[in-house]
Amino acid sequence: MSEHSRRKVSDRLGIGMTGLATALILAILLVILGTMVAGGHRVISWEFLSQPPREGMTRGGIFPAIFGMVFSVLIMLIAVLPIGVATAVYLHEYAKPGHWLTKLVRGAVNNLAGVPSIVFGLFGLGFFIQFIGRGLDASLGKEMLFGQPCILWAALTLALLNLPMVIVATEEALRAVPRDERAGALALGATRWQTIRHVVLPQALPGILTGTVLVIARGAGEVAPIMFTGAAYFLPSLPKAPTDQFMTLGYHIFVMTTQSPDIEATVPIAMGATLVLLCLTIALNLVAVVIRSRTRNALRKGR
Amino acid sequence: MAGSTADRIDITGFNLYYHATRALEDITLAIPEREVTAIIGPSGCGKSTLLRAINRMNDLIDGVRTDGGLRLDGEDIYQRGIDVVELRRKVGMVFQRPNPFPKSIYENVAFGVRMGGNGLLKTRLDEVVERSLKEAAIWDEVRDRLQRSAMELSGGQQQRVCIARALAVEPEVILMDEPASALDPLATAKIEELIFRLKEKYTIVIVTHNMQQAARVSDRTAFLMLGRLIEYDKTSKIFTSPSNKLTEEYITGRFG
C-alpha cells in the first residue's frame, strides 16, 4: 500500500470513528425520545397537564407535579443565583489568584461539584431539617413548621447542589470579558465595583444566563436531593407556602414506576410524564440559546 | 534643565519592583505642564511601567511595590490615604489597543462622568459628550450616530472615541501608551495631529517605540533602557545631539 493510500485510509478511519460516535449519541437520544413518544403521547392532553392524578395514579394528570417543580425551582434560583454569582465575582475580580484562601475556595467548589446528589439529599435532611429547621421551631415555639421536609429545604438543597455550576459558569463568563476593558474603566476613575457593575457584568450576562438555564433544567430533573427534604409521594392539594411539602415531576415518575398498584395502567402515564419533563428540558435549552444570542447581538450593537 | 517653571509631574528616585526584580531603577524626571513628553526605549525597558506608575495602574498587578517619590502637583501619589479613583480622574489614559466598551458612542464618552457620580442633567451631559468628541476631533464623523455601538467604528475612530472618553472627565494629564501602534498610517497621522492640539490644554506623556513619532509630537524625550533613565532632554536635543552614547546608538537604529 502506498503512503498516499495509507493516509487516505487513516483519514477515512478518523472521520468514520468520530462520525460513528456522534451517530451513536444521536441514536441514543432518538431511542429515548422515541420510546417516550411512542409510549406516552396518547395520554398527553390539556387535561393531563391540568388535572391531578386520580385512583392511585392510574388515571388523571400530573398538574401538582408540574406546579411543585416550578415552585421549588423558583426558590432554588432565588437562593443560588445571588450567592453563586457573588462568589464567582469575588473569586475572579477581587481575590488574589495565588492566595491560599482563593485556592482553597476554588478547590472546595470543585469538590462540591463532584459530590453525588444523594449525599446532598442526606445533608439537606441532616442540616436543613434536623439542625436549622428543628432549631427554628424550638426557638420560635412552633411545633413542626420548619423541622420537617418542605419546599424550602428541598429548594435550598437543590441550590447547594447547583452552586458549583453557577459559580463555574459565571467565572467562565467573567473570564471572557477583556482585561483591557476593565483597565479602561478603572483608568477613567471608575471604582472596582462600578467597573464590575457597568462593564464586566453586562458582558458576562449571556454566560450567566446560560448557566442559569442549565441549572434550571438540572434542578427540575433531580430526584435524589429532594426525596428526603420535601418531595411527597402524593398530596391531595397544592402546596400553599414554602413550608408545605410538594409533588414534583422527577419524583412523581420515580414513584409511578416503582410504587404503582397497577403497573399496566400507570406505565403510559409515567411515560407521558417523562415526555413532558424531557420536552421541558429541551425547551429550556432552546430558551437559553435564544436569550444568549439576543443578548450577544444587543451587546455587539451596544445599547 | 527640565522645565523649572511649572512641573506637573515630579519623579524623584523612583523604584518599582515586580516581586524580586527591579523593573524601574532610580528614575528622576520632571514633566512640565502643557507639553508632550515622550518615553522611548527598547521593548521591555519599562517605559509602559513608568507610564502606568503615574496613574497607579500598576496597582492592578500582583506583586508590584514601589518606593521613591512620584508627585503630581506637589502631592505624593503613593502616600497613604491617596484616593486612587480620584487620581485616575486627574490622570487620564489611552491604551495601546483601542478599548471602547461595547456600548454606544455616547455611553462610552459619558461613562467616566456618570461614574463620577455628579448626576448631571441630560442636557449638560450632552454638552460634555459633544465637547469631548469635538476636542478629540471625531465629532463630525459620529455626530449622526451617537447611539450606535462604538464597536462599529474603525480602529482609528475607536481610538479617538477613547481619547474623547478620557477628556470627558476633564483630566489634567493624559497618559498615552503607544496610542497609534495598532493603527494604519492615516489614522496615526490623525492621532498625532490631535496630540499636537491637545497639549494646549493638557499635559501629555506618551510612550512610543516609533522614534519618528516621538520626534514629531513631543517637546521632551526620555530614553529608558533596562529600567534606567539614560537621558532626558528637549526632543530637539535628543534627536540631534544626544549626550549619551547609548541614546545615540538607539535613535540611529543600532539596537532596539
Chain A environment of B92 (Cβ under 8 Å): 187-188
- The pLDDT > 90 percentage for chain B reads 87
Chain B residue with minimum CA distance to A296: B102
Q: Are the beta carbons of A180 and B99 separated by less than 8 Å?
A: yes
Q: Are the beta carbons of B88 and A186 separated by less than 8 Å?
A: yes
- CA–CA separation, A106 and B175 (whole Å): 37
Chain B environment of A181 (Cβ under 8 Å): 99, 101
Q: Please report the pLDDT score of residue A31 as a whole number.
A: 94
Q: Are the beta carbons of A185 and B101 separated by less than 8 Å?
A: yes
Q: Please report the pLDDT score of residue A216 as a whole number.
A: 92
Instruction: Give the Å distances, CA to CA, from A213 to A29, A225, A285.
Output: 20, 19, 7
Please tell me whether residue B221 adopts helix, strand or coil conformation. strand
Chain A environment of B99 (Cβ under 8 Å): 178, 180-181, 183-184
Q: Please report the pLDDT score of residue B2 as a whole number.
A: 43
Chain B environment of A302 (Cβ under 8 Å): 101-104, 107, 148-152
Q: Please report the pLDDT score of residue A201 as a whole number.
A: 95
User: pLDDT for B20-69, tens place per residue?
Assistant: 899 999 999 999 999 999 999 998 899 999 999 999 999 988 889 999 99
Nearest by CB to A194, which of B92, B115, B162? B115
Q: Which fold has domain A43-301?
A: MetI-like fold (1.10.3720)
Does ipTM surpass 0.95 in this model? Answer: no
- CA–CA separation, A59 and B117 (whole Å): 63
Instruction: Give the Å distances, CA to CA, from A231 to A46, A227, A277, A287, B188.
Output: 24, 5, 16, 27, 67
Chain B nearest-CA distance from A128, in A, is 40
Q: Please report the pLDDT score of residue A228 as a whole number.
A: 93
Q: Are the beta carbons of A302 and B85 separated by less than 8 Å?
A: no
Chain B environment of A95 (Cβ under 8 Å): none
Q: What is the mean pLDDT of residues B146-153?
A: 95
Q: Going by C-beta distance under 8 Å and a sequence separation of 6 or more, which residues neighbour residue B51?
A: B39, B175, B177, B205, B207
Chain A environment of B86 (Cβ under 8 Å): 189
Q: Residue B4: which pLDDT band, with cuts at 50, 70 and 90?
A: very low
Domain ranges of chain A: 1-40, 43-301
Q: Are the beta carbons of A189 and B149 separated by less than 8 Å?
A: no
Nearest by CB to A188, which of B62, B104, B111? B111
Please tell me whether residue A231 adopts helix, strand or coil conformation. strand
Domain ranges of chain B: 7-251
Q: Which CATH number fits domain B7-251: 3.40.50.300, 1.10.3720.10, 3.60.15.10, 3.30.360.10?
A: 3.40.50.300
Q: Are the beta carbons of A189 and B89 separated by less than 8 Å?
A: yes
Chain A nearest-CA distance from B51, in A, is 12
Encode chain A (303 residues) as per-residue pLDDT tens digits: 678 888 888 889 989 999 999 999 999 989 998 998 998 888 899 999 999 988 877 788 899 999 999 999 999 999 999 999 999 999 999 988 888 999 999 999 999 999 999 999 999 999 999 999 999 999 998 888 899 999 999 999 999 999 999 999 999 999 999 999 999 999 999 999 999 999 999 999 988 988 998 899 999 989 999 999 999 988 888 999 999 999 999 999 999 888 888 888 888 899 999 999 999 888 888 887 887 787 777 666 554
- CA–CA separation, B69 and B54 (whole Å): 11
Chain A nearest-CA distance from B220, in A, is 24
User: pLDDT for B228-253, tens place per residue?
Assistant: 999 999 999 999 999 999 999 999 88
The yes-or-no verdict on residue B113 having pLDDT over 60 is yes
Angle made by CA atoms A172, A177, A178, in degrees to the nearest 5: 130
- The burial of B182, by beta-carbon neighbours within 10 Å (0-12 exposed, 13-18 middle, 19 or more buried), is given as middle
Q: Are the beta carbons of B57 and A190 separated by less than 8 Å?
A: no
Q: Going by C-beta distance under 8 Å and a sequence separation of 6 or more, which residues neighbour residue A212?
A: A77, A81, A166, A169
Please tell me whether residue A188 adopts helix, strand or coil conformation. coil
Residues 155-174 of B with CB under 8 A from A: 162, 165-166, 169
Chain B residue with minimum CA distance to A204: B102
Chain A environment of B148 (Cβ under 8 Å): 301-302
Q: Which three three-digit cell numbers place residue B147?
A: 447611539
Chain B environment of A190 (Cβ under 8 Å): 85, 111-112, 115
Inter-chain CB pairs, A–B, below 8 Å = 80
B97 in Cβ contact with A180 (< 8 Å): yes
Nearest by CB to A191, which of B85, B101, B102? B85
Chain A nearest-CA distance from B247, in A, is 31
The chain A residues in contact with chain B (CB within 8 A) are 96-98, 178, 180-181, 183-191, 194, 198-199, 203, 299-303
- CA–CA separation, B25 and B11 (whole Å): 12
**Total Cβ atoms within 10 A of residue A202:** 18
